[in-house]
Structure 1
Amino acid sequence: MAPFQWEYLTSLGFLLFGYDSTFGTITSMMVNWTAGVLAVLAIITFVQTLLGAGGLLAAVLYYLLPLVGHFSFADMKTDNAVFAFGALCILCGFVALFQTANDERERTSALRWLFLAGIFGGFGFATKATTIMVILALLPVLVGAMLHWSGFVAGLFFSWSVYAYKGIFDLNRIFERIG
């Protein structure tokens, strides 16, 4: 069996009720809708934990984006699940890095939060490989908060060098893909 993929979960309704059944389609769409709800809950938790009381407004603004609503109820895409796992990965990473107390109990708690961030990042990467952009965006913040502000610059340089090595910034390839 292949590694975890979101498509296995969304096809669960067809597996249980068959391809010709209305219940199979509804169950599969409900699993995909749950990913949208998980993404909204991740936004609410992220904003309320780190920024204050604007979590509900941020979640409503996110869900009002046309493609997000379409992906949640009318299309069986993996993007809401990828966003939810990526947001939870960044939330756990930020909670681990920016804690208030500096005692030993808080440090072991920070390692648990970082482990949980890795788990969510792994789920996101298993769902869709573009989650590597979330992980590479979190890397400079992680290095900068743990070491020194110059570590942020080094982590940022490393992340950008990975993109450059893969040819993301090659303008000729970009223009070939466009036209």
Structure 2
Amino acid sequence: MYHSNLALNLDLSKKYIEAIAEYELSLQKEAFNVNLSINLAFLHWVSAAEFPWADAYKIPNEIRLKGIDRCGEILADAKLKFPECAELYFWERYFWHRITFDPFTEEDTLNILSAHTCCEEIPYFFLYLFDEMKYEKERNSVLKKCLELPTAKNLYIIAIIEDRPPL
């Protein structure tokens, strides 16, 4: 658990380059943890796809250039180990949507949630964008969790919920 704890602490400290390295080590050397895998996949995606974010945190090109591929590998591996985790499928679809601008609808998101028995609240930040009144309770719960553990992924979610740039 050494690498997992260190990775999470580096992520919380916004030392994202070092966090990526430690998350990678935790995947190689420690028991699999779906949440840490999602955090790592997110860091790879945001490093490659969100240029202002990557510039602000001085993410080197070697990480940026492999980010999309590595993100996909991490999510694919995690889905094999946790096939019922809705959040994995949500992020896979969300990342693709953000890269390609392929439509990603409220119905698509609800289908992901209903198709997997391990339903996470995280996708509700996205559903909230479709109907603020309908998903306000879930949005508030997601926001509370994100504020309690402000990883890069959770800071991004907070920014989306609060309608501000995700830096």
Q: Which has the larger radius of gyration?
A: 1
TM-score, shorter chain, exceeding 0.5: no
TM-score of the pair, normalised by structure 2: 0.42
TM-score (norm 1): 0.40
Greater length-normalized contact order (CA 8 Å, ≥ 6 residues apart): 2
Name the structure where helix makes up a greater proportion of residues: 1
